[in-house]
A and B are shown apart, each in its own frame.
Chain A
């Protein structure tokens, strides 16, 4: 039987405890780096401060814009310097869509970013992808500026 019984809440507590890839922690890490201490090479803070951890998309699109491609190329080079680092690419959308479609769109964006990293020489096994759709905005406003910030793929060190 293929199905896996996850069990009651006790089991979930154990399994669900590790939520990796918190980009907010990464952002605050960047803040502490600015306060003096240099970020540890190969860390999320290093990626954010010296490479750029995210690329942005046009409305309802998932193609990598020409102005965003260099960020991913720098990420690929950076990953080349730290071969032990594994990353998750998180795809997101703005709030001007429906939840289920946006989950698919976020996945397509994460995948598009991942493809550029792979083309840049990063082994596919080092990259996982995940979509949060419209459910984890980076900017909380309801305007064009916020939506542009939220249509993104974020590379997160695992």
Chain B
């Protein structure tokens, strides 16, 4: 397994250290000697980039053969789409380019790029090496006339998208001073068939919708998948044998196992930040309480008790606190408690019912679903409940999940049925910047719900 590899270096080493580094199984990277003066590059504030996206020129990467050229174009296109979809970059139209990609890859002619209004320029060269591919990538600050990044990657040719995502993350980090979120996956529930007889399957895809595959065959209903911090395991709820329980799904082996020995329904699982345990809700009689299950010993510990419905627990990124949803005060509200269940306090006090809290990986915000006035909304608040902001509102939406850098949320949005046969109903994944702009529908083969965003894969 990649995470245990003694050769694995952190992403930071891969980008800035000396010598080759393995950034993913089979993917190697190392720094390139600069072709011009090397600079740190001007870091642009994300707040500024939201109102004034960074103009960037991403020409097709050069290549000696027709195959290499095609791959060079494909890689540049994936990078361009990633950056455009972030809402923080504005790729310059390629028709406007003056210098050819081949010439730029050799030596950028600065005035040719300055004159078309771009601030950043990427160049690249693709070389086929048997069944592997080598990609040289450089990022330039056009105004300073300086190279700010140079990295070479080699990978199995089939993993070329991975390289494009890694490069996208490099650009995001060098330009904005924060880690990106492009080398990631989304696990979610793929829905098909009429709503009263829905097939719900576990499915996984790259963050841009590519490399889509189903993990379960639809013979039993699957709900609410959540990534393990190592991205190789998923906790989810399954109706296998008509016994709704939390299961663990191993992405490497494809095997599933039930979690714990609870006598009733278990649901709403989430891994702890250290990956060593799962918090979940367990139904006892008519109540639902929060438990934590240690994955090594399988020991269960009860964290909440009483006659309420306590659901959707989620750890703070430092593992010291848990936010959850409870009706203990009469209707659904958000509560925070210590990791041992102590010191429960309510944090949501706005108008309406609050649900599905998730803690940002940055620790600064909790995202939630709010139901008020016949509308659903996705919003964020600080962990003490202050500073509530609604990001998106509509007929029905829920289930927010943070991208690993805490800058983007994915969730699912449903449309209202317009007739008694459910015509017009749909359920789709969407994503939105946490500032409440750039909402986009994500592409899935059919209806979709319950997204969970993976951590960075490398």
Could you tell me which A residues sit within 8 Å of B by CB distance? 1-9, 12-13, 15-21, 24, 60, 62, 95-101, 103-105, 107-108, 111-112, 130-131, 135-142, 146
Contact = CB atoms under 8 A, between A and B. Distances in A.
B219 A100 contact: no
B323 to A, nearest CB: 13
Contact of B224 (A24, A100, A141): A100
A104 B371 contact: no
A111 B224 contact: no
A104 B417 contact: no
Contacts of A139: 420
Contacts of A135: 198, 200, 221, 223
B interface, size bucket: 35 or more
B183 to A, nearest CB: 28
Contact of A104 (B196, B288, B419): B288
A4 B257 contact: yes
Task: Give 9 closest A-B pairs by Cβ, nearest first.
Answer: A140-B422, A111-B286, A98-B355, A142-B417, A104-B309, A104-B288, A108-B286, A100-B268, A16-B219
Given A100-B224, A100-B281, A104-B288, A3 B298 contact: yes
B265 interface: yes
Contacts of B309: 101, 104-105, 108
Contacts of B356: 98, 100
B299 to A, nearest CB: 10
B219 A99 contact: no
B268 to A, nearest CB: 4
Interface of B: 194-198, 200, 216-217, 219-221, 223-224, 237, 240-242, 244, 247, 253-261, 264-265, 267-268, 281, 283, 285-288, 298, 309, 311-312, 325, 327, 331-332, 353, 355-356, 369, 371, 395-396, 398-399, 414, 416-422, 425, 449-450
Contacts of A17: 219
B258 A6 contact: yes
A99 B268 CA distance: 9
A15 B353 CA distance: 38
Contacts of B195: 137, 140
Contacts of A97: 332, 353, 355, 371
Contacts of B198: 135-136
A5 B259 CA distance: 10
A101 B369 CA distance: 12
Contact of B244 (A24, A60, A130): A130
A8 B283 contact: no
Nearest to A8: B254
18 contacts: A5-B255, A5-B257, A7-B255, A16-B220, A16-B240, A24-B197, A60-B331, A98-B398, A99-B223, A101-B312, A104-B309, A108-B286, A130-B242, A131-B265, A137-B195, A138-B196, A141-B417, A142-B395
B425 A140 contact: yes
B396 A95 contact: yes
Given A19-B220, A136-B197, A137-B195, 9 more contacts: A1-B298, A2-B260, A6-B240, A9-B216, A13-B219, A15-B240, A98-B369, A107-B264, A139-B420
